[in-house]
Amino acid sequence: MSSNLATKLRVGTKKAHTMAENVGFVKCFLKGVVEKNSYRKLVANLYFVYSAMEEEMDRHKNHPLVSKINFKELYRQRSLEKDLSYYYGGNWREQIQLTPAGEAYVQRIRQVSNQEPELLIAHSYTRYLGDLSGGQILKGIAQTAMNLNGKGTAFYEFEDIPDEKAFKNKYRQALDELPIDDATADRIVDEANAAFAMNMKMFEELEGNLIKAIGQMLFNSITRRRSRGSTELATAE
């Protein structure tokens, strides 16, 4: 029996996926405009989100549906801990905190886990498939934009998945083989769209920080140029 859930999720979240890619923070990121302080706040948010999701998926490791797509090689908590140590230092746990949008995201994960654990499938799909699909591209952008020299991007590295394309096919097959009816599939698609919306809100929160940082960098650049110009003029006189 095939539920065709993978196809339903791909088609049913297509609009939300496009909207997420057009959020200002993401568009800037894809163009190579990445500010380290904003980025590390995103990493902190993702740490809380993945920690909650993976904890709840483990809690339901014997669930007839959740267990079928609970692949430990996808887990990101440990890799995010490495990145947080790089960006914040050894005492990173005392420094990071959730933003309001991140808090709402975590609360939603806890809620569905308690009330409708099968909806965790939607959160797994939204995050992990995206990580596998665009991870290497985003990793390269982040390293170049922030001069990371190979550090601070463990989040994008799936050391236990040698062939990402093959693994995505395996994951989609697992989705399709889930013994669910159309009504359950529809609820999972709806939750996936909600997950996209929660991700977008996290990105939107960071836009203000990014714009402010870019504005400050431009101001500093202009100030330095004017200062150099004044010095050159004084020297000439």
Q: Using the predicted structure, report yes or no on whether residue 117 has a pLDDT greater than 70.
A: yes
User: Residue 219's pLDDT is what?
Assistant: 43
**Tokens 């999972």 -> residue:** 188
Which stretch of 180-184, 221-225, 229-233 has the lowest confidence by average pLDDT?
A: 229-233
30 — pLDDT class (breaks 50, 70, 90): confident
High-pLDDT (> 90) share of the chain, %: 68
pTM (global) more than 0.75: yes
Q: Using the predicted structure, report yes or no on whether residue 215 has a pLDDT greater than 50.
A: no
The domains of the chain, with CATH numbers, are 5-207 (1.20.910.10)
User: Residue 233's pLDDT is what?
Assistant: 47
User: Residue 230's pLDDT is what?
Assistant: 52
On whether the CB atoms of residues 27 and 210 are closer than 8 A, the answer is no
CA 151 to CA 154: how far, in whole Å?
7
